[in-house]
Amino acid sequence: MTSAHSKLYSDDVSLVVVVVDTNPFFWAAAAAALPFADFFAHLIHFVNSILLLNHLNRVVVIAAGVSSCAYILDSSDVSPSGGVGISDTFDRASRKAEEFIAQDARATAGNGSVASANAASLLSGALSLALCYIQRIFRSGTRHPQPRILCLQGSPDGPEQYVAVMNSIFSAQRSMVPIDSCIVGTQDSAFLQQASYITGGVYFKPQELNGVSAIRRLSTWDMFVQFVCQYSARIRRSVQPAGQNSVVSCLI
Amino acid sequence: MYGVGGGGGGFNAPSTTAGRRRNPGDEEEDEEEEGGEGRVLEAWERAYADERSWELLQEDESGLLRPIDTKTLFHAQYRRRLLLRSAAAAAARIQKGLIRYLYIVIDLSRAASEMDYRPSRMAVVAKHEIGGSPESQIKALMGKLECSGDSSLQNALELVHGYLDQVPSYGHKEILVLYSALNTFDPGDIMETITKCKKSKIRCSVIGLAAEIFICKHLCEETGGSYTVALDESHFKELLLEHAPPPPAIAEYAAANLIKMGFPQRGAEDLISICSCHKKIKSGAEGYICPRCKVNVCELPTECRTCGLTLVSSPHLARSYHHLFPVAPFDEVTPVPNRIQRGGQICFSCQQSLFNPDGQSNLHVRCPKCNQHFCLDCDIYIHESLHNCPGCESERSITS
């Protein structure tokens, strides 16, 4: 119902929706380089840094599992104990994430059709949830945070999700929501390359450097910091050479 | 020159039949239209006499006007539109023309600056888009709006006919005219132009913003298009959105052949060549290389000038897939007072509570396939923009 012209963004206030890939098959294989628990802890630090930048910033974390998707964290929720702080956020999010992963594992075990080697996480479902949440924020008034989506993806793309992912990308393009992607795994994701290209986001895949594996490098501050602030993300976008965004596989 | 003809306001809404006056044979229609005076009411009169729109206004305690709850109204309109569309689609598996070459003709004559649509007719027309067109195009259009002179239907048709002649045979050629004026000044015989369009299989539709005009109606009937007249701004938007889904393909025109298309990739950065469209020197990274003849083209979609191959990129085709795989309409869930419904606490997609502050559950909807509950706003967003059900996408089906 809202048209593009009527949106007034609050200056400097952002809403970041983080889509986290919790595919147990992928994380089992990557556990040698970086266990999921460590990765999740770094993610919470990242979430807290965004919240520290501006007290009006909001962060939502959605987990994309193999058989289901769910909301893990919403920074605007008031916790029952009333505590606000880094450890409190960490506790709430960790608990919810553990519950979700256990429930997802049960659902996957009961579903014999999931092939273990190349099981894809449900990116389309998580993107759809993220976009619906962003629409709710748009409805909340004329001054609202500037939204963006950050996808942390490790597992390969599932071809059966192509139409759904493209629909989500076009809807994000129309609502002017950039989709940034950070690849945690070893293979490029054509879906996320398309998403970042079409919506004007940043596609980032860290390379191995000085013997430190790519995924280990993600835990360092300089990798995450570029996604923290919307302005740093914009700077990243402008210096990214055009060729990187239009890799051969992305246009087919 | 053709002037205003026909009755006032013929349009598509099924509940009205303006123009039938005191026909004793049509008893069932007269009964629902009969006003207090005993004569048939026009649609615009009905809004005042029968529906009494001023009674919808309410005052709160301090005497200020309370805003009218338009949310349920929007939702009701949207559901009507959705159910009509899905009923029509389910009834017959009609082949749809997905590759459409559609020209939109906007009337910018003096009549467009009339103020009966706020802020002016042409601003209303420019604001709405048929879906898929980027915001930047709309902004560019709004920057160039100025109206003057008189409108000529024949000139518009001739112009577009010239463009559409070059379109390949599998593409469906369409014209949508947004007409504000009540007449047309034509240099020649418009009937000839209409026959020409009909012979080239161009489907012309008109949305009128003023009154029903005979020549527009004739044009649409001859070419197989639809003629509708908008009552007000929201009705205009509905009519415009009706043209967004692909129209049924006329059987003898659309043969189901295989169409050859090329998916070009970007060239290497150090490849310098001359582009075939502007005849300028361009680096390979700025353009695309045709897979058959290897010339440089600047933008997609286009047709290669050298070998005639249609060049597209996969997102261009992907934009139409939601017509092929639409989301099933959700079922309404009637709120049951004082009973907690299983799974009906929060909207699955936006996590908003489905209950009013006083504990009563609001009207909400449920997907028939995944049984998740959604709020009304998400329902509209899912069906009109997103085209995915978040619940169905968030579960792994047993068969996949």
Provide, rounded to the nearest whole percent, the portion of chain A with pLDDT above 70: 72
Nearest by CB to B381, from A125, A132, A252: name it.
Answer: A132
Distance from CA of B320 to the nearest CA of A (A): 9
Q: Is the pLDDT of residue A4 over 60?
A: no
Q: pLDDT tens across A46-59, in order? A: 888 888 888 888 89
Torsion, Cα A148 A154 A155 A161, to 10 degrees, reads: 10
Confidence (pLDDT) at B46:
67
Which residue did the predictor score with more confidence, B116 or A98? A98
ipTM of model: 0.84
User: Phi-psi region for residue B9, left (φ > 0), alpha (ψ -120 to 50) or beta?
Assistant: left
Q: Is the pLDDT of residue B109 over 60?
A: yes
Q: pLDDT tens across B236-255, in order? A: 877 877 777 766 665 555 55
pLDDT band at B114 (very low <50, low <70, confident <90, very high): low
Suggest the residue from A62, A116, A131, A240 to mutate for an interface test with chain B (most B CBs closer than 10 A): A131
Whether chain B has a CB inside 8 Å of the CB on A175: the answer is yes
Whether chain A has a CB inside 8 Å of the CB on B127: the answer is yes
Q: Determine whether the interchain pair A108/B396 forms a contact, defined as Cβ–Cβ distance below 8 Å.
A: yes
Give dist(CA B279, CA B180) in Å, integer. 40
Q: pLDDT tens across A98-149, in order? A: 999 999 988 888 776 666 667 889 999 999 999 999 999 988 877 788 899 9
Whether chain B has a CB inside 8 Å of the CB on A151: the answer is no
Per-residue pLDDT, averaged over A85-105, amounts to 85
Confidence (pLDDT) at B389:
92
Q: Is the pLDDT of residue B8 over 60?
A: no
Q: Determine whether the interchain pair A113/B400 forms a contact, defined as Cβ–Cβ distance below 8 Å.
A: yes
Dihedral (CA of A234, A240, A242, A248) sign: negative
Mean pLDDT, chain B, integer: 70
Which residue did the predictor score with more confidence, B312 or B79? B312
Which residue did the predictor score with more confidence, B282 or B24? B282
Distance from CA of A231 to the nearest CA of B (A): 22
Nearest by CB to B350, from A107, A136, A175: name it.
Answer: A136
Q: Determine whether the interchain pair A136/B352 forms a contact, defined as Cβ–Cβ distance below 8 Å.
A: yes
Q: pLDDT tens across B156-165, in order? A: 788 878 777 7
pLDDT band at B10 (very low <50, low <70, confident <90, very high): very low
Q: Is the pLDDT of residue A35 over 60?
A: yes
| Contact list, A5 vs chain B (CB under 8 Å) | 127
Confidence (pLDDT) at A32:
81
Per-residue pLDDT, averaged over A14-43, amounts to 87
Q: Is the pLDDT of residue B16 over 50?
A: no
Q: Determine whether the interchain pair A170/B127 forms a contact, defined as Cβ–Cβ distance below 8 Å.
A: no
Q: A123-138 vs A162-174: helix axis angle to the nearest 10?
A: 20
pLDDT band at B17 (very low <50, low <70, confident <90, very high): very low
Whether chain A has a CB inside 8 Å of the CB on B398: the answer is yes
Q: Is the pLDDT of residue B3 over 50?
A: no
Confidence (pLDDT) at B12:
38
Question: Which A positions 185-214 lie with beta carbon below 8 A of chain B?
Answer: 194, 198
Closest to B392 measured CA to CA, from B348, B362, B334, B352: B348
Whether chain B has a CB inside 8 Å of the CB on A159: the answer is no
Confidence (pLDDT) at A83:
52
CA–chain centroid gap for B198, Å, is 23
| Burial of A74: CB neighbours in 10 Å, binned 0-12, 13-18, 19+ | middle
pLDDT band at A166 (very low <50, low <70, confident <90, very high): very high
Q: Is the pLDDT of residue A233 over 70?
A: no
Confidence (pLDDT) at A149:
93
pLDDT band at B55 (very low <50, low <70, confident <90, very high): low
Confidence (pLDDT) at A236:
58
| Contact list, A163 vs chain B (CB under 8 Å) | 318, 321-322, 325
**Is-contact A168 A185, C-beta < 8 A?**
no
Per-residue pLDDT, averaged over B117-137, amounts to 49
pLDDT band at B285 (very low <50, low <70, confident <90, very high): confident
Q: Is the pLDDT of residue B172 over 50?
A: yes
Confidence (pLDDT) at B230:
85
Closest to A24 measured CA to CA, from A66, A70, A69, A63: A66
Q: pLDDT tens across B68-86, in order? A: 666 666 677 777 776 666 6
Least confident of A126-130, A147-151, B317-321, B349-353: B317-321
Close Cβ partners of A169 (under 8 Å, ≥ 6 residues apart): A127, A179, A194, A195, A198, A199, B315
- Calculate ∠ Cα A95-A97-A100, nearest 5°: 110
Q: Determine whether the interchain pair A71/B325 forms a contact, defined as Cβ–Cβ distance below 8 Å.
A: no
Q: Is the pLDDT of residue B278 over 60?
A: yes
| Contact list, B263 vs chain A (CB under 8 Å) | 251-252
Question: Which A positions 72-91 lie with beta carbon below 8 A of chain B?
Answer: 74
Which residue did the predictor score with more confidence, A147 or B119? A147
Provide, rounded to the nearest whole percent, the portion of chain A with pLDDT above 90: 25
pLDDT band at A169 (very low <50, low <70, confident <90, very high): very high
Whether chain A has a CB inside 8 Å of the CB on B378: the answer is yes
